[in-house]
C-alpha cells in the first residue's frame, strides 16, 4: 500500500479561487456519445466549459476541475498538470460532466485503428484547463463554507434499468468570501449529483453541455459566484428523467433547462439550513491503483487510441484515486461510472453525513460494477462489456475503503 497524504492544517484561513474557460470549438466538430465514430454537428445549444475550483490552506493546495465532456482520461489530464507548477499533480482532480454531446476525448479507434477525434482541439482544451487553474490560484481569497447533503425532489433522474435504483441525494459545497469588500458574497458553488446528462445525446447533430449548462447558469445567476458540477455514481444507467407518461422521451434544450434549473433550485434549497463553517480544515490523500483489463473491446481501445490510455499491451491501467476532507465533507474520486450500489456502500462507510463521490474523475474507464453483478444477468450485458473486467468494482471499493480507514476523519459540527 502506498498512500501519499498532506496533513491537516490547523491555522490560517481556508483560501479559495475559481475560474472557467469556454471550450466550445469554432467551427463545430463531431461529438461522441461513447465507443464508436463521432457524429457531425450543425448547431449548438449552450456552450462547453472547463471550470476550476482551487482550495488552499497553509501548504496544502487542491484543484477540483470539471470539463463538459463524456470523459477525460489521465493522458489529457496530465498535459494540464504539467502546465500547473504550484499544485502537486496528484492534487489536481479532473472530472467530466459526462455530457453525451461533446467532442471525442478518447480518440476511440474503429476496426481499422482509425479515429475521428480532433487531437489539436483536445490539446487546446488541456491548456485552457491549466489557464483556469492558474487564474484561480492567482485569485485565492479567504472563505467560509456551507455544506449540505440531502435528497432532491422532483423529476430529475431515474435508473433506466431499474427505475428506483439510484441515489437521489445531492451534495453541495458553497465557498463564501469571509473578508474584504466581498465579505458575505458567494465565490463558488460545487454541486455533486449522479446523473447521465444525455437528454440531447450525440445523434441529433447538436453540440451541448446538456442539462449541466442550464444547471450551472442558474446557480451563477442566483448566487453571483461560479458554479461547478461534479458527477457521482451514475453507472448502469442513472439518466435524466425526461420520460413522458406515454413512454416517450423529451430530447430538446427546453427539457435540459427544466431538469438543470430544478436540480439547481433543489441544491440551493439544501443549503438554506446549513451551518456556516468558519474554520474548515483541508486534507488530501492519494494512491495509485492498478486495474487488470479483461474486456477485449477495452483492450483494443487502450492499445489503439493515439492518446496512450493504458499499458503498452492494454492488459492493465493505473490511475489515481483521491480522498479529500474539506470541513465536514469527505470526497472520494471514482475513475469511471460506478453503479449505484457501490456508491451507496461507500457513502455508508464514510465517517460523515456530508458524503461526496466524484465520478468520472482522474480517468473514466467505463462502468465499475461488482463481481456479483458482472455479466450475471441479461440486463447488465452492455455495462459488463464496457467495463474493464470482473474485478474492477472489488478492487476500487477495497482501495477506497483503505483510503477511508487510513486517512484523517473530516471535521464534526455541533449539528451533526
- Give the DSSP per-residue string, 73-113: -HHHHHHHHTT--SS-GGGEEEEE---SSB--SS----TTS
CA distance 193 to 149: 10
Residues 6+ apart with CB under 8 A from 97: 66, 67, 68, 69, 197, 209, 210, 212, 229, 231
β-pairing, 329-333 vs 354-358, is: parallel
Bridge partner list, 142: 15
pLDDT at residue 314 in the model: 74
pLDDT band with cut points at 50, 70 and 90 for residue 311: low
Q: Give residue-wise pLDDT tens across range 34-75.
A: 887 888 999 999 999 999 999 999 999 999 999 999 999 999
Put the strands of the sheet holding 3-6 in their side by side order.
3-6, 282-292, 316-326, 329-333, 354-358
Q: Cβ(22)–Cβ(46) under 8 Å?
A: no
CA distance 132 to 23: 11
pTM attached to this predicted model = 0.95
Q: Give residue-wise pLDDT tens across range 92-143.
A: 999 999 999 999 999 988 888 888 899 999 999 999 999 999 999 999 999 9
Q: Cβ(82)–Cβ(74) under 8 Å?
A: no
Q: C-alpha 272: how far from its chain's center?
A: 24
CA distance 119 to 54: 27
pLDDT band with cut points at 50, 70 and 90 for residue 415: very low
- C-alpha grid cell, residue 197: 446528462
Question: What's the whole-number mean pLDDT along residues 13-30?
Answer: 97
Q: Break the chain down into helix, strand, coil percent, rounded to 5.
A: 25, 30, 45
pLDDT at residue 4 in the model: 63
The overall average pLDDT reported for the chain is 94
pLDDT band with cut points at 50, 70 and 90 for residue 6: low
Residue 139 CB burial class (10 angstroms; 0-12, 13-18, ≥19): middle
Question: What's the whole-number mean pLDDT along residues 16-40?
Answer: 93
CA distance 293 to 315: 5
Kindly tell me if the per-residue pLDDT of 277 is higher than 80: yes
Q: What are phi and psi of 18, to 5 degrees?
A: -140, 145
- What angle, 0 to 180 degrees and rounded to 10, lies between the N-to-C axes of helices 340-349 and 392-406? 20
pLDDT at residue 416 in the model: 42
- Higher-scoring residue by pLDDT: 325, 6: 325
Residue 36 neighbours by CB distance under 10 Å: 12
Q: Give residue-wise pLDDT tens across range 367-389.
A: 999 999 999 988 899 899 999 99
DSSP, collapsed to helix, strand or coil, labels residue 127 as: helix
Kindly tell me if the per-residue pLDDT of 203 is higher than 90: yes
Q: Is the dihedral of CA 211, 216, 219, 220 positive or negative?
A: negative
- What angle, 0 to 180 degrees and rounded to 10, lies between the N-to-C axes of helices 119-138 and 74-81? 50
The percent of residues in the chain predicted with pLDDT above 70, rounded, is 96
Q: Cβ(28)–Cβ(157) under 8 Å?
A: no
- Higher-scoring residue by pLDDT: 396, 301: 396
Kindly tell me if the per-residue pLDDT of 338 is higher than 90: yes
Residue identified by cell 507548477 is: 85
Question: What's the whole-number mean pLDDT along residues 287-300?
Answer: 91
CA distance 196 to 347: 20
Give the residue among 354, 358, 360 at the shortest CA–CA distance from 332: 358
Q: Give residue-wise pLDDT tens across range 155-177.
A: 999 999 999 999 999 999 999 99
CA distance 225 to 233: 26
- C-alpha grid cell, residue 158: 431515474
Question: What's the whole-number mean pLDDT along residues 267-285?
Answer: 96
pLDDT at residue 9 in the model: 41
Question: What's the whole-number mean pLDDT along residues 395-413?
Answer: 93
Residues 6+ apart with CB under 8 A from 53: 16, 17, 18, 63, 64, 65, 136, 175, 188, 190, 226, 228
pLDDT band with cut points at 50, 70 and 90 for residue 303: confident
The percent of residues in the chain predicted with pLDDT above 90, rounded, is 82
Kindly tell me if the per-residue pLDDT of 297 is higher than 90: no
**Eight-state DSSP code of residue 271:** G
Amino acid at each position: 500500500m502506498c498512500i501519499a497524504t498532506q496533513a491537516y492544517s490547523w491555522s490560517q484561513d481556508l483560501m479559495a479561487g475559481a475560474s472557467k474557460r469556454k471550450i466550445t470549438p469554432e467551427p463545430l466538430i463531431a461529438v461522441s456519445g461513447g465507443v464508436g465514430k463521432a457524429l457531425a454537428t450543425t448547431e449548438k445549444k449552450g456552450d462547453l466549459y472547463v471550470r476550476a475550483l482551487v482550495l488552499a490552506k497553509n501548504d496544502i493546495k487542491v484543484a477540483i476541475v470539471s470539463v463538459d465532456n463524456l470523459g477525460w482520461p489521465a493522458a489529457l489530464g496530465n498535459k494540464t498538470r504539467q502546465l500547473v507548477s504550484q499544485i502537486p499533480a496528484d492534487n489536481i482532480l479532473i472530472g467530466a460532466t459526462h455530457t453525451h454531446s461533446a467532442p471525442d476525448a478518447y480518440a476511440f479507434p474503429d476496426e481499422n485503428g482509425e479515429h475521428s477525434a480532433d487531437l489539436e482541439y483536445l490539446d487546446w482544451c488541456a491548456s485552457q484547463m491549466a489557464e483556469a487553474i492558474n487564474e484561480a490560484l492567482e485569485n485565492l481569497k479567504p472563505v467560509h463554507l456551507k455544506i449540505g447533503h440531502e435528497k432532491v425532489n422532483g423529476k430529475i433522474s431515474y435508473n433506466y434499468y431499474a427505475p428506483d435504483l439510484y441515489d437521489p441525494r445531492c451534495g453541495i459545497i458553497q465557498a463564501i468570501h469571509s473578508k474584504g469588500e466581498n465579505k458575505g458574497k458567494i465565490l463558488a458553488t460545487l454541486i455533486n449529483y449522479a446523473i447521465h446528462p444525455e437528454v440531447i445525446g450525440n445523434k441529433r447533430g447538436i453540440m451541448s453541455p446538456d442539462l449541466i449548462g442550464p444547471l450551472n447558469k442558474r446557480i451563477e445567476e442566483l448566487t453571483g459566484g461560479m458554479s461547478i458540477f461534479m458527477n457521482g455514481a451514475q453507472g448502469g444507467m442513472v439518466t435524466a428523467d425526461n420520460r413522458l407518461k406515454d413512454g416517450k422521451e423529451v430530447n430538446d434544450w427546453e427539457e435540459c433547462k427544466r431538469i438543470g434549473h430544478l436540480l439547481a433550485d433543489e441544491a440551493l434549497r439544501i443549503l438554506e439550513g446549513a451551518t456556516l463553517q468558519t474554520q474548515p480544515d483541508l486534507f488530501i490523500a492519494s494512491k495509485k491503483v492498478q486495474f487488470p483489463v479483461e474486456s477485449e473491446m477495452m483492450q483494443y481501445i487502450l492499445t489503439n487510441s493515439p492518446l496512450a490510455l493504458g499499458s503498452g499491451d492494454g492488459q492493465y491501467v493505473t490511475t489515481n484515486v483521491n480522498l479529500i476532507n474539506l470541513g465536514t465533507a469527505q470526497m472520494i474520486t471514482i475513475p469511471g461510472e460506478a453503479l449505484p450500489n457501490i456508491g451507496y456502500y461507500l457513502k455508508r462507510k464514510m465517517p460523515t453525513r456530508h458524503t461526496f463521490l466524484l465520478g468520472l474523475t482522474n480517468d473514466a474507464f467505463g462502468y465499475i460494477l461488482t463481481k456479483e453483478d458482472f455479466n450475471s444477468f441479461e440486463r447488465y450485458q452492455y455495462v459488463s462489456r464496457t467495463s474493464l473486467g470482473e474485478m474492477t468494482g472489488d478492487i476500487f471499493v477495497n482501495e477506497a475503503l483503505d483510503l477511508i480507514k487510513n486517512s484523517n476523519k473530516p471535521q464534526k459540527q455541533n449539528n451533526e
